[in-house]
Amino acid sequence: MSLIAIINGRLIDPAAKNIYAGGLLIKDGRIAACGDIDPKGADTIIDAEGGYIAPAIIDPTVFSVDAPAFIKGGITRVALMPDQSPALDEATLIKRAKESGGDAVEVYPLAAGSRCLEGQELAEIGLMKKAGAKAVATGRQWIADSGLMYRLLDYAASLDLTVISHAEDGGLTKGCVATEGLMASRLGLRAAPAVAEAIVVARDLMLAEETGCKIHFAQLTTKKSFDLIRQAKKRGIKVTVGINPAYLLLSDRHIEDFRTFARLSPPLRSEEDRLASIEAIQDGVIDVFCSAHDPRGAEDKRLPFIDAKPGMAGAETLLSAAVELVRECIIDFFSLMKLLSGNAAQLLGCQGGSLSVGEEADIIIFDANREWQLDSAKMAAKAGNSPFDGRMMRGKVTHTIKGGYVLL
Is 301 within 8 Å of 307 (Cβ atoms)? no
What percentage of residues in the chain have a pLDDT greater than 90? Answer: 97
pLDDT in tens, 124-181: 999 999 999 999 999 999 999 999 999 999 999 999 999 999 999 999 999 999 999 9
Q: What is the pLDDT of residue 16?
A: 79
Is 1 a residue whose pLDDT tops 80? Answer: no
**Over 255-324, what HEC string results?**
HHHHCHHHCCCCCCCCHHHHHHHHHHHHCCCCCEECCCECCCCHHHHCCCCCCCCCCECCCCCHHHHHHH
pLDDT at 209 over 90: yes
DSSP calls for 201-240:
HHHHHHHHHHHT--EEES----HHHHHHHHHHHHTT--EE
* CA neighbor of 23 nearest in space, from 408, 369, 399, 321: 399
Q: What is the pLDDT of residue 167?
A: 98
Helix ranges (DSSP H) in 77-145:
91-98, 125-131
pLDDT at 17 over 90: no
Alpha-carbon distance of 54 to 9, in angstroms, equals 10
Q: Give the pLDDT band of residue 99 (cuts 50, 70, 90).
A: very high
CB 218 within 8 A of CB 311: no
**Domain range summary for the chain, segments of one domain joined by +:** 56-353+375-392
Calpha distance 223→241 (Å, rounded): 13
The mean pLDDT of 30-37, rounded to a whole number, is 94
Burial class (CB in 10 A: 0-12, 13-18, 19+), 351: middle
pLDDT value at 28 more than 70: yes
- 56-353+375-392 is classed CATH 1.10.1200.10: no
Phi, psi of 337 (to 5 degrees): -75, -25
Rounded distance between C-alpha atoms, residue 56 and residue 122, angstroms = 34
Closest CA relative to residue 164, chosen from 246, 93, 224, 108:
108
Are 162 and 138 within 8 A, CB to CB? no
The dihedrals phi and psi of 109, each to the nearest 5 degrees, come to: -70, 145
User: Would the CA dihedral through 304, 305, 306, 308 be positive or negative?
Assistant: positive
CA dihedral 27, 29, 35, 39 (to 10 degrees): 40
pTM (two decimals) = 0.96
> For residue range 290-319, what is the model confidence (pLDDT) as tens digits?
999 999 999 999 999 999 999 999 999 999
